[in-house]
């Protein structure tokens, strides 16, 4: 760094420290009289213990007092505890040295080790790219999952929702994508997961090879709501950092529903009214700001997968409906298919990739449409077929569907550790259902 830059940096340092005092603590919120700070600023609460400082963020105001929400548990905070303003939002560290690491919601190593040297400070909360700076999606990306690569092709920079109830295989499917995709690296956010599931995902679903090309951010369900929100923002910011370096990044967030629940907790604590099924207005303002940050830019791409938990497999509940309207496609994991032993349990007829038609040749599109048509014909008559009431010859379309159904199911099924390249998947699709057959 040049001497002039150092002098300029020193001249802009604020030499004053601004303090306030805690006057109230109730539930998730801490109320402080002073210091002078803005919404989103980071503050330090000095608890009185030697060197013990709690990080908190300004989330609102009540009359002339600050409303603070800590990143950690509210312990050892007493009336009169000093609150120090930093006059800036939370900064996190990012860099190539983080690949292979597991971090907490604000970017610190989860194993309590030191961060590597040489990292760059970045803001956790950024604005989405200007729409005019987003190139169109023109190139497919291989995910290594046959049913998706062939029938629901995803493009570089596309944002997709994975909709499913609990226990249908979302995490396992994300692990397959992380191991098999052709992205330069993965950024994986585990938001609101059970503590047990973090190691399960890393060791079982992601595996050693997957972790070598991934950065994992984990904010478990026992963490405060603000830490879960920051986990999602930190993961997105790290993905943006690598995108700006010209890389094709795979961002996976499990799950965006728990991010919405955390924002609901914050909104209710700050006094917002519950509106749609208990969700506050800030939830529906937060979702597009977070989800729109991924995608294409003039430098690189972030291909993003966001899992959405649907209560009782209701695909029209408020969060699912809002997310589906923001993203560039949705994959529905069907419990009935999972119960039949089909994995991945992707319901091809209920799923869509909004950019597929722009990035695949006509031959693949026609073959994919033919598979959907055969599946649709079979499922419409499935009850009659199962009870033996359907007579062959009654419908040519149904006869063709019955004949093709075993081959289609065999094509859609894929073992967790079976890798299928994009070219292999499309070649098999065309060989079985292309025009030449």
Residues 252 and 133 reside in one and the same domain: yes
Average pLDDT over residues 288-305: 93
Is the alpha carbon torsion for 52, 56, 62, 65 positive or negative?
Answer: positive
pLDDT tens by residue, 313-343: 667 788 999 999 999 999 999 888 888 888 8
Report the alpha-carbon distance of residue 29 to residue 24 in Å, rounded. Answer: 8
Asked if residue 6 belongs to a domain, the reply is no
Average pLDDT over residues 95-101: 92
- H or E, element range at 366: helix 362-380
Residues 82 and 185 reside in one and the same domain: no
Identify the DSSP state of 27.
T
Tell me which of 357, 383, 402 is where a domain ends: 357
Report the alpha-carbon distance of residue 434 to residue 151 in Å, rounded. Answer: 13
Asked if residue 37 belongs to a domain, the reply is yes
Give the model's confidence band at 395: pLDDT under 50 very low, under 70 low, under 90 confident, else very high: confident
Asked if residue 9 belongs to a domain, the reply is no
Residues 208 and 158 reside in one and the same domain: yes
> Are the C-beta atoms of 111 and 382 separated by less than 8 Å?
no
Asked if residue 280 belongs to a domain, the reply is yes
CATH number at residue 263: 3.40.50.12240
Report the alpha-carbon distance of residue 130 to residue 135 in Å, rounded. Answer: 11
Residues 6+ apart with CB under 8 A from 4: none
- Regarding pTM above 0.85, the answer is yes
Cis bond upstream, residue 344 (ω within 30): yes
Tell me which of 357, 380, 398 is where a domain ends: 357
Top mean pLDDT of 21-35, 163-177, 248-262, 381-395 is at: 248-262
Q: Centre a 10 Å sphere on the Cβ of residue 379 and count the other Cβ atoms it contains.
A: 14
Q: Which domain holds residue 188?
A: 97-357
Residues 317 and 171 reside in one and the same domain: yes
Residues 380 and 337 reside in one and the same domain: no
Distance set, CA 221 to CA 114, 152, 231, 406 (Å): 24, 32, 12, 41
Whether 16 has a pLDDT exceeding 80, the answer reads: no
Average pLDDT over residues 46-61: 81
Report the alpha-carbon distance of residue 375 to residue 402 in Å, rounded. Answer: 9
Residues 79 and 180 reside in one and the same domain: no
Q: Return the biggest CA–CA distance within the chain.
A: 88
In 3D space, the residue among 212, 207, 319, 304 whose CA is nearest the CA of residue 250 turns out to be 304
Residues 6+ apart with CB under 8 A from 61: 39, 67
Q: Name the percent of the chain lying above pLDDT 70.
A: 94
Asked if residue 7 belongs to a domain, the reply is no
In 3D space, the residue among 281, 274, 279, 191 whose CA is nearest the CA of residue 233 turns out to be 191
CATH number at residue 24: 2.40.30.20
| Number of DSSP helices (H) and strands (E) in the chain, helices first | 15, 17
Asked if residue 180 belongs to a domain, the reply is yes
- H or E, element range at 306: strand 301-309
Identify the DSSP state of 155.
B
Q: Name the percent of the chain lying above pLDDT 90.
A: 44
Q: Which residues pair with 295 in a beta bridge?
A: 302
pLDDT tens by residue, 109-129: 988 888 888 889 998 888 898
Residues 401 and 310 reside in one and the same domain: no
Asked if residue 347 belongs to a domain, the reply is yes
Environment class of residue 157 by beta-carbon count within 10 Å: exposed (0-12), middle (13-18) or buried (19+)?
buried
Residues 6+ apart with CB under 8 A from 45: 22, 30, 53, 54, 55, 56, 68, 70, 77, 81, 82, 83, 84
Residues 332 and 374 reside in one and the same domain: no
pLDDT of residue 229: 93
Q: Where are the beta strands (DSSP E) in 124-184?
A: 159-164
| 49-58, 99-108, 159-168, 250-259: range with lowest mean pLDDT | 49-58
> Are the C-beta atoms of 103 and 217 separated by less than 8 Å?
yes
Residues 349 and 370 reside in one and the same domain: no
pLDDT of residue 367: 95
More confident residue, 393 or 268: 268
pLDDT tens by residue, 187-199: 999 998 887 888 8
Q: Centre a 10 Å sphere on the Cβ of residue 388 and count the other Cβ atoms it contains.
A: 7
pLDDT tens by residue, 260-277: 999 999 888 888 888 878
Identify the DSSP state of 333.
B
Q: How many domains does the chain have?
A: 3
Q: Centre a 10 Å sphere on the Cβ of residue 99 and count the other Cβ atoms it contains.
A: 16
Asked if residue 379 belongs to a domain, the reply is yes
Residues 310 and 371 reside in one and the same domain: no
pLDDT of residue 437: 44
> Are the C-beta atoms of 218 and 190 separated by less than 8 Å?
yes
Quote the radius of gyration of the chain (alpha carbons, Å).
Answer: 25
Which phi and psi angles does 395 have, rounded to 5°?
-145, 125
Whether 42 has a pLDDT exceeding 80, the answer reads: yes
More confident residue, 415 or 167: 415
Tell me which of 336, 357, 378 is where a domain ends: 357
Distance set, CA 80 to CA 25, 31, 276 (Å): 11, 11, 38
Residues 264 and 387 reside in one and the same domain: no
More confident residue, 437 or 49: 49
Report the alpha-carbon distance of residue 356 to residue 242 in Å, rounded. Answer: 25
pLDDT tens by residue, 142-154: 999 999 999 999 9
Residues 123 and 166 reside in one and the same domain: yes
Report the alpha-carbon distance of residue 217 to residue 350 in Å, rounded. Answer: 30
């Amino acid at each position: 760094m040049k001497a002039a830059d150092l002098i300029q940096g020193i001249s802009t340092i604020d030499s004053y420290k601004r303090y306030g005092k805690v006057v109230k603590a109730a539930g998730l919120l801490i109320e402080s009289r002073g210091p002078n700070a803005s919404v989103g600023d980071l503050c330090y609460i000095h608890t009185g213990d030697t060197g013990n400082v709690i990080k908190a963020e300004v989330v609102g105001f009540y009359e002339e007092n600050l409303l603070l929400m800590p990143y950690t548990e509210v312990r050892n905070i007493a009336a009169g505890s000093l609150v120090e303003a930093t006059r800036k939002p939370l900064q996190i560290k990012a860099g190539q040295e983080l690949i292979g690491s597991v971090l907490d919601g604000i970017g610190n190593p989860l194993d309590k080790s030191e961060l590597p040297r040489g990292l760059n400070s970045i803001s956790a909360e950024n604005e989405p790219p200007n729409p005019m700076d987003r190139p169109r999606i023109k190139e497919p990306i291989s995910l290594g999952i046959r049913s998706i690569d062939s029938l629901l092709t995803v493009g570089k920079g596309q944002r997709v929702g994975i909709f499913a109830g609990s226990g249908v295989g979302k995490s396992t499917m994300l692990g397959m994508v992380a191991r098999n995709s052709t992205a330069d690296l993965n950024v994986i956010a585990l938001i609101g997961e059970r503590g047990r599931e973090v190691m399960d995902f890393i060791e079982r679903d992601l595996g050693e090879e997957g972790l070598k090309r991934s950065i994992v951010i984990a904010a478990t369900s026992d963490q405060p709501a603000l830490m879960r929100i920051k986990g999602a923002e930190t993961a997105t910011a790290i993905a943006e950092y690598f995108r700006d370096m010209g890389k094709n990044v795979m961002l996976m967030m499990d799950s965006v529903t728990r991010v919405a629940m955390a924002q609901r907790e914050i909104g209710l604590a700050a006094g917002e009214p519950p509106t749609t099924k208990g969700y506050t207005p800030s939830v529906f303002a937060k979702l597009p700001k977070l989800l729109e940050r991924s995608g294409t830019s003039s430098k690189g791409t972030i291909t993003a997968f966001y899992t959405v938990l649907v209560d009782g497999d209701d695909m029209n509940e408020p969060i699912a409906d809002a997310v589906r309207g923001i993203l560039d496609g949705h994959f529905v994991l069907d419990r009935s298919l999972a119960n039949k032993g089909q994995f991945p349990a992707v319901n091809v007829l209920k799923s869509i990739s909004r950019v597929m038609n722009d990035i695949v040749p006509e031959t693949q599109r026609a073959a994919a449409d033919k598979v959907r048509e055969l599946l649709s014909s079979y499922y419409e008559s499935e009850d009659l077929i199962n009870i033996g009431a359907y007579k062959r010859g009654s419908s040519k379309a149904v006869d063709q569907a019955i004949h093709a159904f075993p081959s289609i199911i065999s094509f859609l099924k894929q073992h967790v550790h079976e890798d299928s390249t994009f070219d292999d998947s499309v070649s098999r699709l065309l060989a079985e259902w292309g025009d030449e057959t």
